[in-house]
Amino acid sequence: MSILLILLIYKPPTIINSWPKINLQLLPTSPLQNDTDSSSNITRRFAIFSSSIHSKLRSYIFYTPIAAAAWQRIGYNVVVVFVGDFTNNSNAFSSAQLNLSRAFLQRLGVHVIDFQCDKSYAVKMSQLVRLFGGYLSNTIVHDKDYIITTDSDIIPMREKDYQLKENTIGFVYNAFCCGSYQRRGKSYQMFPMSHICISKKIWRDLFLESIQRKELLNSNLSSSDLLSNKAPFSFDTVSIYTRLEFGPLYDSNMSKGDSAWYMDQIFSSMLLNDYCERHQNSTIDKRHKNSMRLDPHLPSQMWQPNYLNNYGDAHLIHDEIFDSHRWIPFKNLLRFLFNQSLADDFDFYYKQFTLLLHDKPKDH
């Protein structure tokens, strides 16, 4: 069944009685894709992105169901990871807003993971967890399935840009965007996190075959289960590798654009380059970005329906989207991507989310 036909399916909504001040009878239940069972030989594709539940920018969590539906539209399953301290609700993103996004994701059939870590690590973890998709549970992703890294504020629009090519191990989208850098006495090509697409097994092998793992095995951590191929998808697994590679930088405070901000991009590029050097008979498809991006700085008329076919993807504005004059042109993108029913569901979701913004606790 095609994705567009599946988008037309509309099930009666599930009501969550504990939801405060929300009329859930008006919210959708629209599972877009069913997972293939473990006995199937079909290779699936998954998009993974994440968000800190402590972020001051509420748009990152707001966009999660919209980004998820956009990936489903072009044939990808979706894993969304919410990162932060789930044991201390007073420190978390407004629980009503988070639950609103989570409920929509679940109705879309998205795999939602709560990734526990201290609040001080939540933002950096929300970036780094994407490298560790090889450790996701087999109940979600199988080793032969492909995982693509992305962001909650990136919307794929042109399906052909995200197709796998035969005789390759995957692809790097916009691979030549970022130059090169020096690390460990070597020069590495810098790859963007949006997007790297390789199989779950290769994502895990990036670490299992890495020089970092060898160094850890030679240390007093050699018996740690965190270095095995069955390591959990957890804060401790991410930390053991990343702290070794970046030292004090990993545990430092992080601000957008500083050295710590690029740990995920530096680490993934180094691991993938090293892997390709070891496996020279395996080809990674390094792609140029051949389509224009719909950027938030473009004038609103560029978001009109007659222009949208010109773009391959969209980069979304942040909390300015909660101003109604910015939301109105954005609805053109929703109608371009989805059928009218789902676009209307997202419009209602927006209204409920913005209503909850006014109800957030004063200490947030």
**CATH class (in words) of the domain with range 44-292:** alpha beta
Spans of all domains in the chain: 44-292
**What's the pLDDT score for residue 17?**
30
Counting residues of the chain whose pLDDT is more than 90, the rounded percentage is 77
**What's the pLDDT score for residue 207?**
98
For residue 259, name the pLDDT band (cuts at 50, 70, 90): confident
| pLDDT tens figures, 288-338 | 998 999 998 898 889 999 999 999 999 999 999 999 999 999 999 999 999
The span from the CA of 51 to the CA of 152, in Å, is: 7
Six-digit token pair at 234?
């957890």
Contact in structure between 115 and 81 (CB atoms under 8 Å):
yes
227-236: long-range pairs with CB below 8 Å, 24+: 229/204, 231/135, 232/135, 233/113, 233/115, 233/129, 233/132, 233/135, 233/136, 233/137, 234/115, 234/116, 235/115, 235/116, 235/117, 235/121, 235/125
Contact in structure between 329 and 303 (CB atoms under 8 Å):
yes
| pLDDT tens figures, 269-290 | 999 999 999 999 999 999 999 8
Six-digit token pair at 321?
């989207």
Provide mean pLDDT across the span 158-163.
96
Query: Between these two residues, 359 and 155, which has the higher pLDDT value?
Result: 155
**What's the pLDDT score for residue 3?**
37
The span from the CA of 281 to the CA of 69, in Å, is: 36
For the ranges 26-40, 88-102, 166-180, 210-224, which has the lowest average pLDDT? Answer: 26-40
pTM for the whole thing? 0.88
